Structure 1
Amino acid sequence: MAEFTLHDLQCFDAVLRAGGFQGAATLLHRSHPAVFAAVAKLERQVDLVLLDRSGYRVRPTEAGSSFHRRARQLLRELEGLRVHAAQLSMGQESEIHVVVGDICPRPQVLGMLGRFFAGSPGTRLNLHFEAVGGPWERLFDDQADLILHWIDKGDARVEWIDLCKVPFIPVVAPGFLPEGIEQPITLNQMQALTQCVMRDTAHHSPQRDYFMIEGAPQCLVADQGMKKEIILQGLGWGHLPRFLIEEELRDGRLNSIAGSHMPGRISELVVARRSDRPHGPIANALWEHILREASALRRVLEPRNAKA
């Protein structure tokens, strides 16, 4: 059996991912004939028919599927090695960009960051505060080294460290609800009442709507603190993270209206970064610092959250 090259494997993998030779050529920024020749050469070298070319889209043969699974392992290892080499070649970063999302308990999270950067005086921390889809957009626009927010854990482009669970509870100030509205409160009953909603800070990503009642009057706010104050003053109702309203729920300044029609939600707060990008030594040290402090943060926050 003749030796095949990584280029041959990359072309074969791209054909299967793109569903054809032209798509693979576009992915790899190569010509269609070059990709076709590389895959044909690979088949000759391994003495196997790897692709079924009889249909509109090429498909792997049974042998091709088995061969591709092993090839993907090797290509992933290669990409990991490239990232590792890029990390080793980096000097210490002069600045780190961290995005804090709207579901973060800020005193605890900022304290955790402060303890790290107190020991890294040569690196400037650039803090950004974003809401809803904003943290994700910053991360994928390469404007953030890491984010503290919720994520789509099915996205292979990110890695994460679990920090804590954050229950969101629908609340009102005493006297806000009209007479006659009783539990279980329905969405239709709330439609005529002003709903306080977080403004999505994403600029070009699809806007995300959470808990919003279609057609209801809205009051848009930029952060959870302003949202809490508006609800406390009886100017609207909305969902707030439990850690932010523990005292108000205990002393009666806010009332939960959670029920079968509006159960609230539990979001998972994580720290996340791109897994397909190299990270410098300070960014990696910060990642390890958060990993060490994650359990302590969880202990501080989750005993309260568990009551939601």
Structure 2
Amino acid sequence: MPYRPKSTLEQWRILQAVVDAGGYSQAADLLNKSQSSLNHAVAKLQNQLGVELLQVIGRKAFLTEAGDVMLRRSRILTQQIEDLELLAASIDMGWEPEIRIAVELVYPKEFLYQALAQFHPLSRGSRIQIIDTVITGTTEVILEGKADLVIAATGVIPRGYLGEPICVAHLIPVIGAAHALAQHKQLDLDELSQHLQIVIRDTASKPMEGPGGWLKAEQRWTVSNFYEAIEIIKSGIGFCWLPEHLVKNLIAEGVLRRLPLTQSSERLAPMSLLTPKEEKLGPGSRQLRQLILAIHGKTGSPL
């Protein structure tokens, strides 16, 4: 037999109102209902559950120990119902139930997190999915329309798509303090090519030859993200081109060292925000796009 609830949401909302208002009389004024109807609703709820939830002392209603526990759980339930109904209304208005954001790994995500913090109270229950992409994996996401918003390295944006420049990521060659090269005052690329390089895996299903940076080292280990690369090079194994914002504190602490290359001492990765399918962009995605642009000091010109 399917489960049949003994109580209703309205009964729980009435109980919450009585507690929050401090009594039946105050709650009746708040809800524009008669005091007797509230007394009846709470009494029926307690009888149906077989648990005493409220005790009336004088003119005030006080929660019992069991009532306090159940009231807290009921607030979660009623909030979930409100969120569900709001989501249904938002979908009916064209507001997306989910917003997908593809982000190139070199992008400083603290900017995105600031925008998301501002977006959260406006989100109407929309889920957010953040997809990490690398090199031609970013191109693939754009071409296949797998995300609503894409933060991409400008160099991998395919023909026919335009993005709004938002910032420039700096990648620098880094080693661990225990690496043999840590004592060198100068180093050329030919010598560097003889050492193990840690590289980040392209996220495309079929990686293509493209702007993947300096990959001349004979020995390479491939990892899925920069944090894995950092842990490896911290142990004194290999070198890696890493976003400066991820490693500047570790360099300042002496855990990592920046390689003193005689040329190409850093790579610049201009970043852009674009929408692969502008015509299908929903209101939530448009709102989030404006917030990301504003974080970067942009006015929100069309992408």
- If the length of structure 2 is used for normalisation, what is the TM-score? 0.61
Aligned match of 2:265: 263
Distance 1:154 1:139, change over 3 A: closer
Question: Where do residues 34-49 of structure 1 align in structure 2 (5 Å cutoff)?
Answer: none
Q: Which runs of 5+ in 2 are unaligned?
A: 1-91, 299-303
Contact 1:169 1:256 in 2 (8 A): yes
Q: Could you tell me which residue of structure 1 aligns to residue 97 of structure 2?
A: 94
The reply on whether 1:103 has 2:114 as its aligned counterpart is no
| Partner residue of 1:158 out of 151, 158, 161 | 161
Once the 2 structures are TM-superposed, how far is the Cα of residue 179 of structure 1 from its aligned partner? 9.1
CA, structure 1 residues 169+153, in 2 after alignment: closer, same or farther (shift >3 Å)?
closer
Q: Aligned residue for 2:244?
A: 242
Aligned residue identity for 1:217: Q
Q: Quick one: distance in 2 between partners of 1:221 and 1:263?
A: 23
* 266-275 vs 174-183, which moves further: 174-183
Q: Is the 8 A contact 1:100 1:129 kept in 2?
A: yes
Deviation of the 1:255 alpha carbon: 1.6
CA contact (8 A) 1:165 1:268 kept: yes
CA 1:241–1:179: 2 relative to 1, 3 Å: closer
Q: CA–CA distance in 2 between the matches of 1:151 and 1:290?
A: 17
With structure 1 as the length reference, what TM-score do the two structures score?
Answer: 0.60
Structure-2 change in CA distance of 1:245 and 1:111 (3 Å): same
Alignment-derived partner of residue 33 in structure 2: none
- CA 1:286–1:225 in 2, change beyond 3 Å: closer, same or farther? same
Query: Cα deviations across residues 269-291 of structure 1 (Å, max 9, x unaligned)?
Result: 22222266432222222222222
Q: Return the offset for 1:131.
A: 1.7
Query: Could you report, residue by residue, the CA deviation over 1:156-203 in whole angstroms, capped at 9, with x for unpaired residues?
Result: 5323232221111111122312598551x1222123321110111111
Q: How far is the alpha carbon of 1:137 from its aligned partner?
A: 0.9
* Alignment counterpart, residue 116 of structure 2, candidates 113, 116, 133: 113
Sort the Cα spacing of 1:109 and 1:117 in 2 relative to 1 into closer, same or farther, 3 A.
same
Change (3 A) 1:258 1:276: farther
Are 1:217 and 2:226 matched, yes or no? Answer: no
Q: In structure 2, what is the equivalent of residue 174 of structure 1?
A: 177
Q: Match of 1:291? A: 293
For the 8 Å contact 2:148–2:277, the answer to whether it is kept is no
How far residue 205 of structure 1 moved from its aligned partner, in angstroms, is 4.6
Q: 1:191 aligns with which of 182, 190, 193?
A: 193
Write the distance in 1 (CA, Å) between the matches of 2:122 and 2:203: 32
Could you tell me how far apart the structure 1 residues matched to 2:198 and 2:157 are?
30
- Whole-angstrom CA distance in 2 between matches of 1:93 and 1:289: 17
Q: Distance in 2 between matches of 1:203 and 1:258?
A: 35
Structure 1 residue runs of 4 or more that deviate by more than 4 Å after TM superposition: 153-156, 178-182
Tell me which structure has the larger Cα radius of gyration: 2
Correspondences of 1:48-127 after superposition (within 5 Å): 91-127=94-130
1:239 offset after TM fit, Å?
A: 0.8
Show the counterpart of 1:62.
none
After TM superposition, give the deviation of residue 240 of structure 1 in Å.
Answer: 0.8
The residue number in structure 1 matching 2:255 is: 253
Q: Offset at 1:259?
A: 2.5
Contact 1:147–1:272 (CA under 8 A) maintained in structure 2: yes
Number of equivalent positions:
206
> Is contact 1:95-1:124 (8 Å) kept?
yes
1:103 shift after superposition = 0.6
Instruction: For structure 1, list consecutive stretches of 5 or more residues without a partner in the other structure.
Output: 1-88, 297-308
Counterpart of 2:35 in structure 1 is none
Counterpart AA for 2:266: G
Summarize the Cα distance change of 1:179–1:222 in structure 2 as closer, same or farther, 3 Å threshold: closer
Q: Secondary structure at the match of 1:103?
A: coil
SS in 1 for 2:140: helix
What secondary structure does 1:118 align onto?
helix
Q: Name the structure 1 match of 2:232.
A: 230
Q: Give 1:219 shift.
A: 1.3
Structure 1 residue 213: deviation in Å?
A: 1.3
